[in-house]
C-alpha cells in the first residue's frame, strides 16, 4: 500500500466498509446505495486497471482518436485550437448545451430542491496514484469504487472514473469555467458516469450519462494532498507517458471544504467529441495550489512538443439554459 497523503484541516470518520459516517462538517447519506455496494471490493482482475484506462480512452479522454484529430495540434494551439473544432465536430457550434460557460452569480437561480437531497460524495482512497500525460492534460485514473449522488442528480448514482486538470501559462488564466468572466489559474474536473448504464463508454454520449465536479484553483499556499501528484511528475514530462506513484490519495481531499455551495447546469464535454452528456456541478469555493505546484503542471510537454499550457476551452453561449445555485 502506498504512503498516505493527508489533508490537515479535517478528518473524515469512516465505517467498517470504509464509508464516511456522519460528522458535524460532512453529513453523509447513502441515497440508493445498497449495503452490498458499500462493501464491494475494488476490481481484482489482473487486467482491471488496463481495461478501465482503455475504456476511458476510447470514449472521450483522448479526443484525437477521431480520424480528424490524429494528434493534439487541433486542440489548443494558435491559430487552430477550440475555434476550429466545429469543422470536424459541428456540435461545437450547433449544440445547445456546450461547455464551459461563464457563470454570472446574480443571474443564477436559487433552487431549494438542490438541498432537499444534499450533494453526497464518497471516494475510496487510491492505494497507488495512476497518472498519465495524455498529450493535452494530466489525468489520474481511478481504480477504487467512488460515488456521487444527490443535489441535481437526485437519487441517481454516478461512479468516479478519473480526474484531470486544465491550466494556463500564468496565474491570470487557466480555468475553463469563468465566474463573472474571472478566470482562475487552473480547474480540476472529477468525471463520473451514470451507473444505470453498464460502463463509462455506454454512458458518455447519453444526455444523462455523466456528472462532472468542477473545482476552481487559485495560486496560494501549497496543497499537501496534490503534492502527491505535483512532486512526482518527473516521469510524466513527455506526452503519452504513464507512471504509478506509490502514495495513497483520497480524491475527497482535493475538494473544497464546503461542497454545499455550488452552481449546476446541463452541459457537455469540453474537448472533442463534445458530447452533450454532462451535468456540471461547479463549486463556489476555490482551492489553492502553490506557485511551484502550478509550475510543475506547466513544465509538462504536450503532443506538439510544446510546454502544456493554456489547455482550456473558452466559455460557450448559454443558449437559453438556466444556471441553478444551491445557495442564496
**216-231 per-position pLDDT tens digit:** 999 999 999 999 999 9
pLDDT recorded at residue 198: 93
Active site residue 136: yes
Tell which wins on pLDDT, 192 or 29: 192
3 pLDDT band, cuts 50/70/90, is low
Tell which wins on pLDDT, 134 or 33: 134
From the list 29, 86, 88, 197, the catalytic residue is 197
pLDDT recorded at residue 60: 38
77 pLDDT band, cuts 50/70/90, is low
pLDDT recorded at residue 81: 87
pLDDT recorded at residue 189: 98
Active site residue 123: no
pLDDT at 235 over 80: yes
Averaged pLDDT for residues 283-303: 98
2 pLDDT band, cuts 50/70/90, is low
pLDDT at 284 over 80: yes
pLDDT recorded at residue 7: 40
pLDDT recorded at residue 76: 76
pLDDT tens digits, 236-259: 999 999 999 999 999 999 999 999
From the list 123, 136, 192, 262, the catalytic residue is 136
Averaged pLDDT for residues 275-303: 98
pLDDT tens digits, 107-157: 999 999 999 999 999 999 999 999 999 999 999 999 999 999 999 999 999
pLDDT at 78 over 50: no
> For all residues of the chain together, what is the average pLDDT?
83
Q: Which domains does the chain have, with CATH numbers?
A: 50-325 (3.10.200.10)
pLDDT recorded at residue 226: 98
Give the chain as a 3 state SS string.
Answer: CCEECCCCCCCCCECCCCCECCCCCCCCCCCCCCHHHHHCCCCCCCCHHHHHHHHHHHHHHCHHHCCCCCCHHHCCCCCCHHHHHHHCCCHHHHCCCCCCCEECHHHCEECCHHHHCCCEEEECCECCEEEEECCCCEEEECCCCEEEECHHHCCCCEEEEEEEEEECCCCCCCCCCEECCECCCEEEEEEEEECCCCCHHHHCCCCCCEEEEEEEEEECCCCCCCHHHHCCCHHHCCCCEEEEECEEECHHHHCCCCCCCEEEEEECCCCCCCCCCEEEEEECCCEEECHHHHHHHHCCECCCCCECCCCCCCCCCCCCCCCEECCC
Amino acid at each position: 500500500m502506498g504512503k498516505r497523503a493527508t489533508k490537515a484541516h479535517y478528518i473524515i470518520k469512516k465505517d467498517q466498509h470504509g464509508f464516511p459516517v456522519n460528522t458535524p462538517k460532512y453529513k453523509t447519506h447513502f441515497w440508493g446505495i445498497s449495503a452490498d455496494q458499500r462493501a464491494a471490493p475494488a476490481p481484482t482482475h489482473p487486467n482491471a486497471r488496463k481495461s478501465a484506462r482503455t475504456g476511458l480512452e476510447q470514449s472521450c479522454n483522448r479526443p484525437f482518436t477521431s480520424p480528424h484529430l490524429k494528434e493534439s495540434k487541433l486542440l489548443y494551439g494558435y491559430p487552430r485550437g477550440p475555434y476550429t473544432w466545429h469543422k470536424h465536430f459541428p456540435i461545437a457550434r450547433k449544440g445547445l448545451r456546450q461547455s464551459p460557460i461563464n457563470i454570472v452569480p446574480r443571474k443564477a437561480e436559487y433552487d431549494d430542491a438542490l438541498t432537499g437531497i444534499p450533494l453526497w460524495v464518497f471516494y475510496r482512497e487510491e492505494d497507488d496514484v495512476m497518472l498519465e500525460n495524455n498529450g493535452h492534460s494530466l489525468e489520474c485514473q481511478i481504480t477504487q469504487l467512488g460515488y456521487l449522488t444527490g443535489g441535481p442528480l437526485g437519487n441517481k448514482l454516478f461512479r468516479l472514473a478519473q480526474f484531470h486538470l486544465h491550466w494556463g501559462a500564468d496565474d491570470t488564466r487557466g480555468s475553463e469555467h469563468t465566474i463573472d468572466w474571472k478566470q482562475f489559474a487552473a480547474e480540476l474536473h472529477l468525471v463520473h458516469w451514470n451507473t444505470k448504464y453498464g460502463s463509462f463508454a455506454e454512458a458518455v454520449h447519453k444526455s444523462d450519462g455523466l456528472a462532472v465536479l468542477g473545482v476552481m484553483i487559485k495560486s496560494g499556499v501549497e496543497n499537501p494532498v496534490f503534492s502527491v501528484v505535483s512532486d512526482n511528475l518527473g516521469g510524466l514530462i513527455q506526452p503519452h507517458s504513464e507512471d504509478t506513484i506509490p502514495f495513497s490519495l483520497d480524491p475527497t481531499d482535493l475538494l473544497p471544504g464546503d461542497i454545499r455551495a455550488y452552481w449546476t447546469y446541463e452541459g457537455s464535454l469540453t474537448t472533442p467529441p463534445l458530447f452533450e452528456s454532462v451535468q456540471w456541478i461547479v463549486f463556489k469555493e476555490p482551492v489553492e495550489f502553490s506557485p511551484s505546484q502550478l509550475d510543475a503542471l506547466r513544465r509538462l510537454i504536450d503532443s506538439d512538443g510544446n510546454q502544456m499550457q493554456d489547455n482550456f476551452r473558452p466559455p460557450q453561449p448559454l443558449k437559453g439554459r438556466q444556471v441553478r445555485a444551491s445557495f442564496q
